[in-house]
Structure 1
Amino acid sequence: MKKRTMIIAGIVAVVVIIGIFVLPSLFGGKQAAGPEMKTATEDLGIEYFEVPDIEQVYINGVVQPEQAEAFAKDNKMTSTPEIKVKNGDVVEPDTELFTYEDKEVTKEIEVQNNTLSKLATKKQNIYKKWNRAIDTFNKTKEEERNTTGAAIDEQHQAEVDGVDEEIFFSNETIADLSTKQFISTKAKFKGRVSIPEVKDENAPVLRLTSDGLYVAGKVNEKDLMKIAVDQKANLSVVSSGTTVTGKISYIDDNPPEAQANQNQGESTGADSSMSNYNVKLALDSLDGIKNGYHMQATINLGDNKPIEVPKKAIHDQDGKKYVLVNDFGSVIRRDIQVGEEKGENTVVNSGLESADRIVVSSKKEVKEGDLIGEESKESGAAAKE
């Protein structure tokens, strides 16, 4: 009886093992995994707003001042320039910025001043001699005089006139040299002064930059015919995400000469020989924009109808508006500039890209940096409705 019980127990054990390991593999079943093996995507119940998919042209560029000038040192000058302005000063046109002293000219002026001093002494001596001659003439008896008082005056006046002529020439020479003694450099436009802190031999004396800024970018020949002057643009600072609006202010019809010559020598690949053309973009606001910032401009082609985004999709942090976007499964932040409110929606003037999937709401909080996977676009269509 005990043996029979053991046999039954063995059969039951085999059946259990077959049920756990063999049958699931035969019928496509999968072994249950622990929490760390979970692969099912959590249902976040996200509602999306789909930005219309429109054709766009992207222009990458760098912020530059409308006018700028760096004043290099004059190596012909042995003196150190005397700077007449301070770092950060905003100066008007024709303001004296710095001067050089031409030391060779200064030496010539000193020589002329010494000459003037000697001529003044010479003139005084002539007058003394003249006075002595008059005294001698007056003391001499009339019958013993061998000249006349008029002759004495004429002789000494001629000597004084000669010295006065030399004095006049020296003064004229000094006046002419004085215009060359200090070489002054003046501002050609209104701008802000920047004086380098490090005074090495390659550093300029100072720089002058206008307060007005623009974006200098490039567009390739494929997109050149798609854009036009005065076309509106949405611009974003690459480093900070700060967004502003603007427009195209200039398009160069010719590629840079050096690039054109280089392309003529290339013969392999269409992309390698594609020309780029200089483009300038004016900025509607300079808030958060500085000289040297890298920016990307987006030009929407075709219909420029404003994009209206649900209010509840727009967040605010320290006065900055932004939305969260599902970027191929990753949640990213897009800083935006908003316009007027229209019912439950708000007009977004800049910051969005074509076909952006904006998170409107979700069952669980979604934040920047989350990985949420790709979901169907049905919820985005529902948000638009």
Structure 2
Amino acid sequence: MKKRTMIIVGVIAVVCIGIFVLPSLLGGNKKAGSEKKTVSEDLGIEYFDVPDIEQVYINGVIQPEQAEAFAKDSKMTSTPEIKVKNGDVVEPETELFTYEDKEVTKEIEAQNNTLSKLATKKQNIYNKWNRAIDNFNKAKEEERNTTGAAINEQHQAEIDGVDEEILFSNETIADLTTKQFISTKAKFKGRVSIPEVKDENAPVLRLTSDGLYVAGKVNEKDLMKIAVDQKANLSVVSSGTTVTGKISYIDDNPPEAKADQGENTSGEGTMSTYNVKLALDSLGGIKNGYHMQATINIGDNKPIEVPKKAIHEQDGKKYVLVNDFGSVIRRDVQVGEEKEGSMVINSGLESADRIIVSSKKDVKEGDLIEEDNQGSGEAAPAAKE
């Protein structure tokens, strides 16, 4: 009897342990708190859906309209004398730097040595001439084998010959002097940049124009969809700064020919790319070397009007919150004309963006929210390329 009782008590103990311990082992006692949590409650979010239009994306880099790096010349055997300062904005024909061509300097020195020798030679002729005249005057008339006029003519001819050599050397020196110091001048208006490190490969200085543009590439699939003067919305990849602009140039030829004999002609594989330039309407927050992404809307370029209450501002930048497939993200935008209850968005939005206009509770960047497609009666927008 006692044995039976002990078995029953043991079974009951095992069941109790299972009731309390198993949920913990199966994760039923998880700790709350994570960096991002999905909000499953009804937030009553009101959306504005950006029209789903075809777009072409162009990635590029900011470059100056004109730039020149002045490399060290092979004749530059001396340290250049820089005539400008780092950061100076110079006009065309401004002297940037000069340097001495020491080979030319050697030729000038050689010509100067020649001049010294010619001067000595000329003086010796005069001395010889004077002695000849003295000897002529001292000699008796019957002992003279020549005339004074003949003596003068002979020595004057020698002086004239030396003078010709002197004239030639002086002309040579004058010509060489113009080549002795080589002056380099600016070909366009630009800003001077002088490298801090003076190594062998560093240029003497660089000159870049203040005007900037975006140098990008477009693939052959999108080439025929775009045109010069087409408007573009551009954003800085690193900061999100947005500006407007337009296509200013499209190259008709790819940078490098890829038409090899074994190339795949079925339409698959690598496509050719073509150089594209985009002009910017504003350079605020833009610097040389920044990476940019341009968005070209194909077809209807009707401006997008977003409800004014959907636009927020922080640190002087305007932005909207977008439900990006359940994740709340921020898009910096450039606004244009203000209308009754709405504002025109010039740049910053993407096709089919779901902009959060309002909600019952605050929604912030980084929140994860459940997709609610029933509110709009539409399916979730397709993924953007």
TM-score (norm 1): 0.81
* Alignment-derived partner of residue 3 in structure 1: none
Q: Quote the RMSD (CA, aligned, Å).
A: 3.1
Cα distance change, pair 340–98 in 1 and its aligned pair in 2 (3 A): same
Listed as ranges, the gaps of 5+ residues in structure 1 are 1-13, 22-30
The answer to whether the 8 Å contact 2:45/2:360 transfers is: yes
Alignment match, 2:201: 202
Q: Is the 8 A contact 2:59 2:216 kept in 1?
A: yes
* Residue in structure 1 matched with residue 299 of structure 2 by the alignment: 302
Classify the secondary structure of the residue corresponding to 1:157.
helix
Cα deviation, residue 298, structure 1: 0.6
- 1: CA distance between counterparts of 2:249 and 2:295? 16
Which residue pairs with 2:32 in the alignment? 36
Q: Aligned partners of 2:293, 2:362: CA distance in 1, in Å?
A: 30
Contact 1:58/1:296 (<8 A) preserved: yes
| CA displacement at 1:141 relative to structure 2 | 6.5
Q: Are 1:349 and 2:314 counterparts?
A: no
Would the aligned equivalents of 1:61 and 1:295 in 2 still touch at CA under 8 Å?
yes
More helix per residue: 1
Alpha-carbon distance in 2 for matches of 1:74, 1:132: 55
Which residues in structure 2 correspond to 1:115-194 (within 5 Å)?
A: 115-131=114-130, 133-134=132-133, 147-194=146-193
Counterpart in the other structure of 1:27: none
- State the 1:215 CA deviation: 0.9
Listed one character per residue, the Cα deviations across residues 314-351 of structure 1 (whole Å, up to 9, x for unaligned) are 12222221111111222221111111110111111111
Partner amino acid for 2:302?
K
Shift of 1:136: 5.7
Structure 1 residues 137 and 249: alpha-carbon distance in aligned structure 2, compared to 1, 3 A threshold:
same
Q: Deviations over 1:197-228 (max 9, x none)?
A: 22222222322222211111111122111111
Q: Is 1:365 aligned with 2:362?
A: yes
Match of 2:90 in 1: 91
Contact 1:50 1:380 in 2 (8 A): no
Q: Which of 274, 277, 280 is the matching residue for 1:280?
A: 277
**Corresponding residue of 1:7:** none
Structure 2 unpaired stretches of 5+:
1-11, 20-26, 379-385
Rounded to whole Å, the distance in 2 between the matches of 1:234 and 1:277 is 19
TM-fit CA distance, 1:61: 0.9
Distance 1:76 1:123, change over 3 A: closer
- Name whichever of 52-61 and 269-278 sits farther off: 269-278
In the alignment, the residues of structure 2 paired with residue 156 and residue 339 of structure 1 have an alpha-carbon distance, to the nearest angstrom, of 93
Q: Distance in 2 between matches of 1:361 and 1:46?
A: 6
Matched-pair contact (CA < 8 Å) for 1:46–1:379: no
Deviates more, 1:238-247 or 1:129-138: 129-138
**Secondary structure at 1:255's aligned position in 2?**
coil
- Is 1:335 matched up with 2:368? no
Q: 3-state SS of the aligned residue for 1:189? A: coil
Moved more, 265-274 or 313-322: 265-274
Q: Which segment drifts farther, 303-312 or 193-202?
A: 193-202
Is the 1:324–1:333 contact (alpha carbons within 8 Å) kept by the matching residues of 2?
Answer: yes
Structure 2 equivalent of residue 66 of structure 1: 65
Shift of 1:246: 0.6
Aligned to 1:212: 211
- Kindly state the Cα deviation for residue 299 of structure 1 after the two structures are TM-superposed: 0.7
User: In terms of mean alpha carbon deviation, does 59-68 or 132-141 score higher?
Assistant: 132-141
CA distances 1:229-274 after superposition (whole Å, capped 9, x unpaired):
111100011001111111111112222224x246x53339744232
SS at structure 2 position matched to 1:309 = strand
Identity of aligned residues (%): 86
Q: Find the residue that maps to 2:213 and give its secondary structure.
A: strand
Between 265-274 and 245-254, report the one with greater CA deviation: 265-274
Secondary structure (helix, strand or coil) at the match of 2:328 reads strand
* Alignment correspondent of 2:22: none
Q: Distance in 1 between matches of 2:265 and 2:196?
A: 47
> What does the per-residue CA deviation read over 1:9-46, in whole Å, with 9 as the maximum and x for residues that have no partner?
xxxxx9xx9xxx9xxxxxxxxx9977739977133322
What TM-score do the two structures reach when normalised by structure 2? 0.81
Alignment match of 1:267 (pick from 260, 264, 267):
264
Report what 1:52 is aligned to.
Answer: 51
Instruction: Tell me, in whole angstroms, the C-alpha distance in 1 between the residues paired with 2:332 and 2:198.
Output: 40
The superposition leaves residues 262-318 of structure 1 with CA deviations (integer Å, 9 ceiling, x where unpaired) of 6x5333974423222211111111111111111111111111111111112112222
User: Could you say which residue in structure 2 is the equivalent of 1:4?
Assistant: none
| 8 Å Cα contact 2:87-2:192 kept in structure 1 | yes
